Homo-oligomer: A and B are copies of this chain.
Amino acid sequence: MAVQMDEAQLMAFMREVFHQRAEDFGVDHVAENEITMRLFSAERHLRPGGTVSGPSMFALADVAAYLVTLAMIGPKALAVTTNCSIDFMRKPASGVDLIAKARLLKLGKHLSVSDVMLYSEGSDKPVARASLTYAIPPKD
């Protein structure tokens, strides 16, 4: 199955749909059913102690699952998350970007299912693991 949107197209789509929020995220690499993304390290994502907050980790997992779906089906602004289960396992390192590696496990007509591992850049021990389901809007 061919990738429908490359890194630059996904970034452009994010800027269109998420506006200023898009600047928080970068798309490193897209391949068939896979994406690597990052949350840029910045003061506003931190919680006391200097580590990335839970909602910021959720946001990164959510956008990675969304973009790996769009990469395979093309731009659909209306796809919505229906379920996320996330395990927070380790404290992220402070002062480095948070990396998401997402895999598309199923792409159905109505639903996509992805899993996402989050890492502090430079470490191979996951800080969090998430699985997400997206509802795909019917074809027009």
Contact = CB atoms under 8 A, between A and B. Distances in A.
Contacts of A17: 48
Interface string A97-140: 00000000110001101010000000000100101010100000
A85 B84 contact: yes
Interface residues of A, number: 34
B87 A133 contact: yes
18 contacts: A17-B48, A54-B81, A55-B55, A58-B59, A81-B88, A82-B88, A82-B89, A83-B85, A83-B88, A84-B85, A85-B86, A87-B133, A89-B105, A89-B106, A90-B106, A105-B126, A105-B129, A115-B115
Interface in A17-66: 17-19, 47-48, 54-56, 58-59, 62
